[in-house]
Structure 1
Amino acid sequence: MAIMKILQKISSPKELALSISTNHFMIVAVAVLAILYFVSKRKVAIYLLDFACYQPPDSCRLPKSMFVEHIFLDNSFDSDCVAFKTKIMEKSGFSEETSIPPSQSYLPIRKSISFDFEEATTVIFSTVTELLKKNKINPKTIDILISNSSLFCPTPSLSAMVVNKFKMRSNIMSFNLSGMGCSAGVLSVALAQDLLRVHRNSLALIVSTEILHPNWYTGKNRSMLLTNCLFRMGGAAILMSSRDQDNKAAKYELKHLVRTNKAQNQNSYACVFQDVDSENNVGVCISKDIINVAGDALKANIATLGPLVLPFSEQFRYGLSPGIANPWREIIHSYPVDVPDVVKLD
């Protein structure tokens, strides 16, 4: 009856055809909108296309014997400092191929911002040039640029130096991270991941380094002397993509990225701290708590990452393992009912 009433309202075959066409158009329009909606909600794949690491020339090489001779001839260190640094160097595991910038071979150490810029441009420009050349990437195709260096934060920024050197686009999204220590590389990847998911079909370039020359410590505080023994010249550049066309060419696909911020804990906050010693020498103090802090952060990250990558059977075995601190034990003990002996955890 309803169909008959509709047909009665249509006075001619022409109007009937128009009505059918309109209905078909609306169905197709709804289908297209639905497809566009689900495509927009589809998780964007993030790829690591390639990376490059800085390889210093042989003229920058620092054998352990040369390092010991260098600190012995440096008048800013007394015999106790020389003995301490020599002991640390012997246990550091460094090879004979580590490097320092040429400016740091002068005695006594001459600190100058011109030396800092020289080291930064040498490391960053060489690494980026190698990466772009190896993958035949035009710098103007880079959409996102992220640089990170914890202690050396000049003006213009390191990211601005890269944009200027390689004549990148004026609408490139550039960021410069500082003061974030050794974790800055992972933080840069996390930032690139978020940006690539929002700005689809884009390329991101990450440049990570730590400039050694301005951070050479010349005092006698042992916790600050460690930085002279542990850090050397180097840098890396990474090319990431959210372009579907890079699926086959990519080396890796980024599946999960886990971050745990421990800055709210005082021991974690102060385990690596830039300060001045009793003689007003600037240095980075590395606390003995850094091992425990790193261990706690690693446990938290593994507990978060585990459920994302491990099968349920492995997660269940991990939850039942005695003597392992993990969130599953805390969750089970938080229930207001008794846990059966079969799955009771110590």
Structure 2
Amino acid sequence: MVFPPSHSPLIHTPMSSQSIPPSSAGRGLPDFSLSVKLKYVKLGYHYLITYLLTLCLVPLMAVTALQASQMGYDEIHHLYVQLRFNLAGIVVLSIVLVLGSTMYIITRPKAMYLVDYSCFLPPEHLKAPVEKFVKHSRLFGEFDESSLEFQRKILERSGLGMETCLPDALHKVPPLISMAAAREEAEMVMFGALDNLFCSTNVKPKDIGVLVVNCSLFNPTPSLSAMIVNKYKLRGNIRSFNLGGMGCSAGMIAVDLAKDMLQVHWNTYAVVVSTENITQNWYSGNKKSMLIPNCLFRVGAAAVLLSNKPAERQRAKYKLVHVVRTHCGADDQAFRCVYQEQDGEGKTGVSLSKDLMAIAGQALKTNITTLGPLVLPISEQLLFFLSLVGRKLFDSKMTPYIPDFKLAFEHFCIHAGGRAVIDELEKSLQLSPPHVEASRMTLHRFGNTSSSSIWYELAYTEAKGRVRKGHRIWQIAFGSGFKCNSAVWLALRPVKPSEHNPWLHCIDRYPVEMLP
């Protein structure tokens, strides 16, 4: 998902209030303290209660078995005599045991482990510093002076550094925009990430049972997932999926889909590949709202190896705890705020609505309101609940208590869609600069790599040596449609960066000071 950089002219434009609350108007995210929809709080507690009911069956059955094992012969004989003359009791007990066992087997969530992951590191010759970008845009000859100046201002305020990369096709003058060039970019980033993943994990491609690939804007035939199957000669009965058009939050959707597949297919591996393709989606027109993706999107991809094999817990880095997905597509304004279309000259691009930040804020509020009961300490939930009761019974204008999510997570991976969204999330969630450091530095070094950005951020945190056993990581991303998706991971051990970590060659230079 592309977010306009701070102080972008698009953000200053007054917004419609048709479906966005008045408090959301303006350039930033809405004030979460002004309105909280209780239905999403209830939804979060529904997830929690369902989860706890499943967990409670395990200790209950364990206690029952323990008590039974401690019974002597006389006690067992006495119980037999009692039940012998109580047919109804036997029937009821049998039904309870059968139903309880069946419910446990059906609802018991299988643990899903993140064995390892790999982020593609673009080669040096693909770097596109600002001056080179602007020079090539001018030589291209399709942009007028106003568009060239607009792109320069966006880049200066974007938070991108001088080392972000564009595909080889866009380094040519004029850009080589073709299906063949787009395929080359896709193969370069996906195969590069997968080669490193298979190398670092020693997992054979033939062992992969589930493959999920997400790329929003490039969906050729055969699909990207088929390209991977063909390249690595994956087995014929692999469950492969190709997700398109789902924006920058599709990485979390892919993880959620892989999780569901691993709940059904036991003792196997799943690979998730998240990327975006820039070559075929380069916009060559002069509509301002469609030029921003040109300035922020950069080359990147991540490949993630997941497994439900119990033996993999010994070497896995993380365990998946929760995935919470929020979809606001039923609202017309949210549905069209990130929209691929043709401009007046017939040139295709992705248009960003002036309401984007407000809509993202509403989606975020819904997502974290649902996530809160699953992750927040009881003390925070109690304060939040009491403040809601106070507003309901005494003073509706009373500001509700905003839970401190820093008590629930040690690390935050906020999608590096743009400088503005990182700034606003830092303020709205009351985070400190260290909490958003990984997001800012990822945006600076790699740019907006779409759905893979949250993995570059996690790789940054690992390269800094900050992940300890028991640490909780919150990945959160936004996507067209409009969607806000979250994933919560638990570190199973102190995590050291792998040899293919994209930050290892430059981590000593970060964090860098960001210009205002």
- Which band: TM-score by shorter chain? 0.7 to 0.9
SS of residue in 2 equivalent to 1:258: strand
2:258 to 192, 198, 204: 192
Per-residue deviation, 1:340: 5.5
2:359 to 287, 293, 296: 293
Q: Alpha-carbon deviations, 1:101-139, whole Å to 9, x = none?
A: 111111122321110111111111111111011100100
Q: Distance in 2 between matches of 1:292 and 1:203?
A: 39
Question: Equivalent residues in 2 for 1:84-233 (5 A)?
Answer: 84-233=150-299
Q: Alpha-carbon deviations, 1:260-279, whole Å to 9, x = none?
A: 11000111101100001011
Matched, 1:259 2:315: no
Q: Distance in 2 between matches of 1:319 and 1:91?
A: 40
Q: Give the direction of change, closer, same or farther, for the CA distance of 1:69–1:45 in structure 2 (3 Å limit).
A: same
SS of residue in 1 equivalent to 2:327: coil
TM-score (structure 2 length as normaliser): 0.56
Supply the RMSD in Å over aligned alpha carbons: 2.4
Report the counterpart of residue 325 of structure 1 in structure 2.
Answer: none
Per-residue deviation, 1:72: 2.0
Q: Give the direction of change, closer, same or farther, for the CA distance of 1:287–1:136 in structure 2 (3 Å limit).
A: same
Per-residue deviation, 1:34: 8.7
Q: Distance in 1 between matches of 2:233 and 2:374?
A: 41
Q: Distance in 2 between matches of 1:206 and 1:41?
A: 24
Q: Distance in 1 between matches of 2:386 and 2:360?
A: 24
Report the counterpart of residue 384 of structure 2 in structure 1.
Answer: 318
Report the counterpart of residue 271 of structure 1 in structure 2.
Answer: 337
Instruction: Report which stretch shifted further, 39-48 or 79-88.
Output: 39-48
1:51 to 102, 112, 117: 117
Question: Equivalent residues in 2 for 1:4-19 (5 A)?
Answer: none
Q: Give the direction of change, closer, same or farther, for the CA distance of 1:120–1:292 in structure 2 (3 Å limit).
A: same
Q: Give the direction of change, closer, same or farther, for the CA distance of 1:68–1:241 in structure 2 (3 Å limit).
A: same
Q: Alpha-carbon deviations, 1:190-238, whole Å to 9, x = none?
A: 1111111111222100111111110000000000001100101111111
Larger radius of gyration: 1
Q: Give the direction of change, closer, same or farther, for the CA distance of 1:252–1:72 in structure 2 (3 Å limit).
A: same
SS of residue in 1 equivalent to 2:323: coil
Question: Equivalent residues in 2 for 1:74-89 (5 A)?
Answer: 74-89=140-155
User: Identity over the aligned pairs, expressed in percent?
Assistant: 45
2:129 to 59, 63, 66: 63
Per-residue deviation, 1:298: 0.8
Q: Distance in 2 between matches of 1:35 and 1:281?
A: 60
Partners of 1:53 and 1:234 within 8 A in 2: yes
Q: Distance in 1 between matches of 2:117 and 2:298?
A: 20
TM-score (structure 1 length as normaliser): 0.83
Per-residue deviation, 1:310: 1.1
Q: Distance in 1 between matches of 2:163 and 2:382?
A: 45
Q: Give the direction of change, closer, same or farther, for the CA distance of 1:202–1:89 in structure 2 (3 Å limit).
A: same
Per-residue deviation, 1:312: 2.1
SS of residue in 2 equivalent to 1:257: strand
Q: Distance in 2 between matches of 1:169 and 1:276?
A: 40
Q: Give the direction of change, closer, same or farther, for the CA distance of 1:80–1:245 in structure 2 (3 Å limit).
A: same
Report the counterpart of residue 506 of structure 2 in structure 1.
Answer: none
SS of residue in 2 equivalent to 1:110: coil
Bigger RCO of structures 1 and 2 (CA < 8 A, at least 6 apart): 2
- Flag as ranges the 4+ runs of structure 1 deviating above 4 A: 32-41, 343-346
Q: Distance in 2 between matches of 1:287 and 1:344?
A: 31
Report the counterpart of residue 28 of structure 2 in structure 1.
Answer: none
Report the counterpart of residue 371 of structure 2 in structure 1.
Answer: 305
State how many pairs are aligned: 306
One-letter amino acid of the structure 2 residue matched with residue 183 of structure 1 = S
